[in-house]
Structure 1
Amino acid sequence: MKAIILFFSNSGTTQSMAVTYQKHLEAAGHNVTLHDGFAILKEFLARKETNHTYHWTQYQNDLREAEIVGIGSYVSHFTVAEGVADVLSEEGSPTAHFASMKYYFSFTSCGGFPGTAGTYLASYLHSKNSNAKYLGTNTITAPDNCVPLQAIKGTYDAMRDSELKKVDDFGKSLVSSIETGTFPPMHKIDNSTKFEAGHKPTTRFGAIKLNPDVCIGCYKCVTICPYNALSKPGKDAETKIPVWTESSCVGCGRCFNHCPVRAIEFPKVKSEKVEQVLYGTPKKSLKQAHPATMIEMIGRAMLPRGHNYVLYILALILLIFILVKLF
């Protein structure tokens, strides 16, 4: 059978997952083609800017003939990477092109909590052809996916052996399910993470820095940036340093992870700042950091971390008992 695997990778991890699945499927006699979703996105955005109708000849031809379809993405703030919705839109991936699909699967790589990105991808394929059989969803933790945190943790390109084993085991399960006709139960479809194509991306953690003393002017970052946030300097520019456009950057870290000389620096982020970006406010509130009442101070002095208001009440009773004895 012919198969197509579409992947969106910021660090190379998601692509590595796709390659592993490709090897397992090809070993079983299937013909597998890989497609870089971000390369497709760049062309999509370029044609949008010039008001040209988009037509992905090779990708769409492969999609029409594929009986096995897999889609993978790195996880960006609990959901799929920005731009995936553009590629998966009706213009980019028409429903009619999924008529040959008999089996489908999804996969994600994340720097922490995967959210519902895997279910979004699976539900997308399910909606395109509900008669196809679900082969499962695979998610692994890849520390290099979250660039602002990796600088602190020092986990660049690090993946635990257990996570790598998950990828290999899932590749084996794809082949086994197809050959035996036994499939995993379809998980609850959750479209809560679905967003409209063409939404404006926003920088997540602050400005990146390009080190002029390290940059060699290869412009690989310009080539691989999915959102065209990096561009070559003008002919008359006095520097070879790429030009960074903040309004287009989403802070995905793709340029950082692929720079051959590490000339790109991302802002280091403290955990409290991350919580503020993700949840709107740090988990440790100002009140928790600075007790406002005597009872709260007594409770903190007497009780271990993780206390609750019941313990505060006990502290108050103890304080009253002491005052009664004194007076």
Structure 2
Amino acid sequence: VRTFDGLELFKTADLGNQGVRPETDLTQIEIWSQFLNSLQTANIFGFGSYTFALKPAPYVLRIINESVIDQQYFQSIKYFFSFTTHGSIQSKAIDKIAEHMNKRLNNAKFLGKIDFHCPENYPPLLPKIGEQDKWDNNEIVRLRSFEDDLIKRIYDPDFKGEKFAVSNKDLTVTQKEKYLSYGTVQVDCNVCVKCGVCERNCPYNAIKLKDYKDGVLIDNINDYDAGAEGVVKIPTVDQERCQLCARCFNKCPKHAINFVKYHTHLRSQYKGPELKFNRVSEDEQERIDIHGEQPVEFGKLPWLPSLMWRNFI
């Protein structure tokens, strides 16, 4: 089994560019070369995304467009499945992914889908600094059950394929309205240590460390004539490219990036764990090992009304 970070694939191919994607030989990019080589011999293909405004993340479905991945790489795929993560509100994003995959995988059977309820990772709905939402253990157990279901369906000779909903409803407007309502991302230069974590992690390539002197952007070679003294690199956000995925906010080690409109400097950052399932060899009992950047506590996820109240922190 091979897994790939979809956002890393997305970033390295610059699929977040809203304009015409530049012609790029993806086989020359190491992670893409590995991905395409694995895909070409795979029998099962799973694809997932976080949910944003009731839809898959903006532009993320471009990864499996014909202009990005040629049909030859899907020839050996016999089965496929889709998955999503959502916070406060469940949606049909998971079906939209399945529908998109089905268009590319005409002869493959749909194994199923799972929409995983996670703690919020979006700044306006995160708890106050010093607090963390707990994970619902029942949701984590569902992942194990889903894996077992997939295996059973693969080995079932009578399996005809699961169903998924098809909708022609365009939620792009809803997504854009939500995007505009959150305002813009800003960097507190007094706190920022210019480490570049935000630039390296932005899947939309919307953040670049640029040279400034006396608060003015140095945007051409002649500006360097005065010398390098006093020049500092500051993360600069391209608001047109930015899709408010909040990765920069959650990854910043100094909490220097914020959604000013929502006072997110008062909120904790989301640092989710990686979930890994291991089998105990003696009795084949399943054990969940959790590795991540934050201590994981299990409990009940907050109710929607309590999440909405966080808008007023």
The answer as to whether partners of 2:206 and 2:241 remain within 8 angstroms in 1 is: yes
How many Å apart are 1:77 and its aligned residue? 0.6
Instruction: Measure the CA separation in 1 of the matches of 2:119 and 2:110.
Output: 28
Instruction: Measure the CA separation in 1 of the matches of 2:250 and 2:24.
Output: 32
- Residues 40-81 of structure 1 show CA distances to partners (whole Å, capped at 9, x for unaligned) of 222322898784334243322222211000000000110011
How many Å apart are 1:263 and its aligned residue? 2.5
**Which amino acid is 1:58 matched to?**
Q
Instruction: Measure the CA separation in 2 of the matches of 1:203 and 1:192.
Output: 20
Question: Partner residue of 1:72?
Answer: 48
Instruction: Measure the CA separation in 2 of the matches of 1:203 and 1:79.
Output: 16
Greater helix proportion: 1
Instruction: Measure the CA separation in 2 of the matches of 1:52 and 1:164.
Output: 40
**Which amino acid is 2:185 matched to?**
I
The answer as to whether partners of 1:118 and 1:137 remain within 8 angstroms in 2 is: yes
**TM-score normalised over the length of structure 1:** 0.62
The answer as to whether partners of 1:105 and 1:137 remain within 8 angstroms in 2 is: yes
How many Å apart are 1:92 and its aligned residue? 1.3
Question: Partner residue of 1:301?
Answer: none
Match of 1:178 among 141, 148, 154: 154
**Which amino acid is 1:210 matched to?**
V
Instruction: Measure the CA separation in 2 of the matches of 1:50 and 1:104.
Output: 27
**Which amino acid is 2:67 matched to?**
E
1:78 and 1:183, CA in 2 relative to 1: closer, same or farther beyond 3 A? same
Question: Partner residue of 2:197?
Answer: 220
SS at match of 1:45: coil
1:36 aligns with 2:5: yes
1:162 and 1:267, CA in 2 relative to 1: closer, same or farther beyond 3 A? farther
Aligned pairs for 1:17-166 (under 5 A) are: 32-45=1-14, 51-55=22-26, 56-151=32-127, 156=132, 158-166=134-142
1:128 and 1:52, CA in 2 relative to 1: closer, same or farther beyond 3 A? closer
Q: Which moved more, 1:250-259 or 1:212-221?
A: 212-221
- Residues 130-162 of structure 1 show CA distances to partners (whole Å, capped at 9, x for unaligned) of 332221111122233322211469875642222
Aligned-CA RMSD value: 3.2
Instruction: Measure the CA separation in 2 of the matches of 1:254 and 1:161.
Output: 24
**Which amino acid is 1:174 matched to?**
L
1:254 aligns with 2:230: no
1:256 and 1:171, CA in 2 relative to 1: closer, same or farther beyond 3 A? farther
- Residues 184-215 of structure 1 show CA distances to partners (whole Å, capped at 9, x for unaligned) of 631233354587xxx9x965511223233433
- Residues 94-124 of structure 1 show CA distances to partners (whole Å, capped at 9, x for unaligned) of 2332121111100000122232211111112
The answer as to whether partners of 2:88 and 2:120 remain within 8 angstroms in 1 is: no
Instruction: Measure the CA separation in 2 of the matches of 1:97 and 1:232.
Output: 36
SS at match of 1:134: strand
Instruction: Measure the CA separation in 2 of the matches of 1:54 and 1:156.
Output: 42
How many Å apart are 1:183 and its aligned residue? 6.6
Question: Partner residue of 1:242?
Answer: 235
1:169 aligns with 2:145: yes
Question: Partner residue of 1:14?
Answer: none
Show structure 1 runs of 5+ residues with no match.
1-31, 271-327
Question: Partner residue of 2:182?
Answer: 205
Instruction: Measure the CA separation in 1 of the matches of 2:261 and 2:136.
Output: 23
- Residues 211-260 of structure 1 show CA distances to partners (whole Å, capped at 9, x for unaligned) of 33433322111011011111112275744431122221111111122223
Question: Partner residue of 2:285?
Answer: none
The answer as to whether partners of 1:210 and 1:265 remain within 8 angstroms in 2 is: yes
- Structure with the greater relative contact order (CA < 8 A, sep ≥ 6): 1 or 2? 2
The answer as to whether partners of 1:117 and 1:193 remain within 8 angstroms in 2 is: no
Instruction: Measure the CA separation in 2 of the matches of 1:155 and 1:70.
Output: 33
The answer as to whether partners of 1:134 and 1:184 remain within 8 angstroms in 2 is: yes
The answer as to whether partners of 1:120 and 1:194 remain within 8 angstroms in 2 is: no
**Which amino acid is 1:185 matched to?**
E
Instruction: Measure the CA separation in 1 of the matches of 2:200 and 2:72.
Output: 31
1:219 and 1:97, CA in 2 relative to 1: closer, same or farther beyond 3 A? same
Instruction: Measure the CA separation in 1 of the matches of 2:141 and 2:129.
Output: 23
**Which amino acid is 1:112 matched to?**
S
Greater strand proportion: 2
Q: How many residues align?
A: 235
Percent of aligned pairs with the same amino acid: 30
